[in-house]
Amino acid sequence: DQQVKQNSPSLSVQEGRISILNCDYTNSMFDYFLWYKKYPAEGPTFLISISSIKDKNEDGRFTVFLNKSSKHLSLHIVPSQPGDSAVYFCAASVGYGQNFVFGPGTRLSVLP
Amino acid sequence: EPEVTQTPSHQVTQMGQEVILRCVPISNHLYFYWYRQILGQKVEFLVSFYNNEISEKSEIFDDQFSVERPDGSNFTLKIRSTKLEDSAMYFCASSELGDRGTNYGYTFGSGTRLTVV
């Protein structure tokens, strides 16, 4: 039972364009969400978070949108850079400080 | 920037042997975690640790696994009798209690690749 889904296993985007990574969840109790980036042979690196009291959070080139009614969140990267090429994990938890359920990841390739 | 340190980076062990994976979390963090990622699969939660005890664990974390914070700085994961299917990348993470409205998440170590042969 996949509580956190990332239905696109891979995504290719041209440098300078927008990358949109999507994530859906099934557990309506989730109220804290994170996006992580992971390079091969390294641990996940925290990117941005959002709690259920918000519907948008922005940090530099990264913006996360949360739609609680559709249980959907997305990560926008503008403009995309070749260094953004990595696997992106969406993760959700019930309450802060609790364990996260990770999605399977989406591999982003930013083409020069 | 503070980081979570994991050692060794790669460990090869024979099936049935005990292994201990070591982690040094960030010093002012209060919550500690172990995750693993089997090659080609998603990152899975194993266990969380707070106030010197396990706060939550997944069904993967069976009696073969244990965690310890032996000296106030290290956080270890022990696998008593390794199986082939324990081969994976094991990630340690730590976090501090923070405002949920701000950009805050976990800090992960770079992982230990465990190969059971």
pLDDT tens for each residue of chain A, 112 residues long: 568 899 888 899 999 999 999 999 999 999 989 998 877 766 678 899 999 999 999 999 999 999 999 999 999 999 999 999 998 989 888 876 556 787 878 899 999 9
Question: What integer pLDDT is reported at residue A96 of this predicted model?
Answer: 64
Q: What distance in Å separates the CA atoms of residue B52 and residue B68, rounded to the nearest whole number? A: 8
A43 to B110: CB separation less than 8 angstroms, yes or no? yes
> What string of DSSP letters covers A59-71?
ETTEEEEEETTTT
Question: What integer pLDDT is reported at residue B34 of this predicted model?
Answer: 92
Question: What integer pLDDT is reported at residue B86 of this predicted model?
Answer: 97
B103 to A57: CB separation less than 8 angstroms, yes or no? yes
Cβ-based neighbour number of residue B57 at 10 Å: 17
Give the residue carrying structure tokens 């396990």. B54
Q: What distance in Å separates the CA atoms of residue B36 and residue B115, rounded to the nearest whole number? A: 13
Residues of A in contact with B98 (CB under 8 A): 96
Question: What integer pLDDT is reported at residue B101 of this predicted model?
Answer: 35
Question: What integer pLDDT is reported at residue B3 of this predicted model?
Answer: 82
Question: What integer pLDDT is reported at residue A95 of this predicted model?
Answer: 75
Which of A43, A98, A104 lies nearest to residue B108, judging by beta carbons?
A43
**C-alpha triplet A60, B1, A82: angle, nearest 5°:** 45
Looking at the complex, report in whole angstroms how far the Cα of residue A31 sits from the nearest Cα belonging to chain B: 10
User: Within chain B, which residues score under 50 in pLDDT?
Assistant: 98-103
